[in-house]
């Protein structure tokens, strides 16, 4: 009987499904609800030491719908990190762990380019009882003027330094959340893992402009007649996320064996999750999917993932983690393999012997002549 129980970086989870940092983990009420509904872990909305500079606007979401208007396939947000005080979050972290001791609670943190700030936020969250950290180096639109989020995560040198600060003081597993808004996602990944992080998370949202209202001629989402570049998510980003997860997993396999990867990007079904695990994910994060379908969606996804595992004879997540990585190669190698296969088929069609088992006594002379070079 297959099981979804898994242990990643010492974190014991009832299943690999984790609430991704964002609105679904925005306060103690919703986090406790997530654990009640069966999520393996929750990453709280990103916190910083000073929330006073965080001011959200509305509307702050925009949806891309299918041509019939019935399905949301893309979702843009211009939402910032948590606007709630850090002291309040520390109280809520303690409350969550007191009431949900078996739930894996991960603090998402983001700070300015100052060692004292990073060390303080890590040490104080650690004292509040969280189980692990996710370092937000990937928010594509929030607070770049303070060198936070993707503004930091796009610079491997800064990333190395900050991850080093964190790992000096953290006694807990540390994941660095990667931005997809780079040319080669392997570069920041290598920086984070070289600096001691136990794992990485990928991908965060992709910089985007959702669209322009052709009646008002204003871009969306429209706030006071204006907008700003946002982060794109939902099922439309899944192919891009799968590619980047694959690239990170190949790097981990080659240079950082044993490090972990929390994969995300458009996950809405157990089948989606299976694909990310097949490409190297240890856990699978869901954020926009919860906003579309609600917290109980995890129950359906667990059922679907178990059905997949049972159909293939997999007993545990580790049985198929990274299984499909072996089937990536270069285009030149694809050409070579296809040319070789066609040549063999042509020989077989012509009746030319390829191996000893194909010799036939009745056609022995013809087969011998076919193999002659002159």
Residues identified as active-site? 139
Distances (CA, A) of 307 to 30, 146, 297, 301, 317: 28, 46, 16, 10, 13
For the chain, report the end-to-end CA distance as a whole number of angstroms. Answer: 62
Helix, strand, or coil here: 149?
A: coil
Output phi, psi for 305, to 5 deg.
-70, -40
User: How far is it, in rounded angstroms, from Cα 219 to Cα 226?
Assistant: 7
List residues bridging with 230 in a β-sheet.
208
User: How are beta strands 72-77 and 230-233 bridged, if at all?
Assistant: antiparallel
**Interaxial angle between packed helices 297-312 and 270-278, expressed in degrees from 0 to 180 and rounded to the nearest 10:** 60
Q: b or e along 93-132 (b: 16 or more beta carbons within 10 Å of the residue's beta carbon)? A: beebbeebeebbbbbbbbbeeeeebbbebbebbbebbbbb
User: How far is it, in rounded angstroms, from Cα 327 to Cα 352?
Assistant: 30
């Amino acid at each position: 009987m297959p099981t979804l129980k898994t242990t990643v970086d010492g974190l014991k989870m009832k299943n690999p499904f984790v609430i991704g940092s964002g609105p679904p983990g925005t306060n103690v009420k919703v986090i406790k609800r997530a654990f009640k509904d069966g999520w393996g872990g929750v990453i709280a909305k990103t916190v910083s030491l000073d929330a006073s500079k965080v001011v959200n606007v509305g509307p702050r979401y925009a949806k891309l719908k299918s041509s019939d208007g019935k399905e949301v396939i893309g979702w843009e947000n211009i939402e910032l990190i948590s606007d709630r005080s850090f002291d309040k979050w520390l109280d809520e972290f303690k409350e969550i762990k007191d009431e949900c001791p078996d739930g894996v609670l991960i603090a998402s943190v983001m700070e300015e380019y100052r060692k004292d700030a990073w060390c303080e936020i890590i040490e104080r969250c650690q004292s509040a009882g969280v189980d692990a950290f996710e370092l937000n180096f990937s928010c594509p639109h929030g607070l770049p003027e303070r060198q936070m989020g993707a503004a930091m995560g796009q610079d491997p040198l800064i990333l190395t330094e900050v991850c080093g600060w964190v790992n000096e003081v953290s006694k807990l597993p540390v994941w660095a959340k990667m931005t997809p808004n780079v040319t080669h996602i392997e570069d920041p990944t290598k920086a984070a893992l070289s600096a001691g992080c136990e794992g990485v998370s990928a991908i965060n949202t992709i910089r985007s402009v959702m669209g322009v209202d052709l009646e008002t001629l204003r871009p969306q989402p429209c706030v006071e007649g204006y907008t700003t570049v946002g982060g794109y998510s939902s099922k439309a980003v899944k192919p891009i996320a799968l590619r980047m997860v694959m690239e990170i997993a190949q790097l981990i396999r080659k240079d950082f064996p044993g490090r972990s990867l929390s994969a995300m990007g458009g996950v809405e079904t157990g089948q989606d999750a299976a694909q990310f695990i097949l490409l190297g994910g240890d856990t699978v994060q869901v954020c926009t999917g919860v906003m579309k379908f609600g917290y109980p969606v995890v129950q359906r996804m667990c059922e679907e993932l178990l059905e997949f595992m049972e159909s293939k004879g997999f007993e545990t997540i580790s049985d198929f983690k990274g299984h499909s990585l072996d089937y990536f190669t270069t285009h030149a190698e694809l050409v070579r393999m296809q040319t070789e296969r066609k040549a063999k088929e042509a020989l077989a069609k012509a009746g030319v012997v390829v191996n000893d088992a194909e010799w036939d006594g009745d056609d022995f002379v013809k087969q011998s002549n076919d193999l002659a070079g002159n």
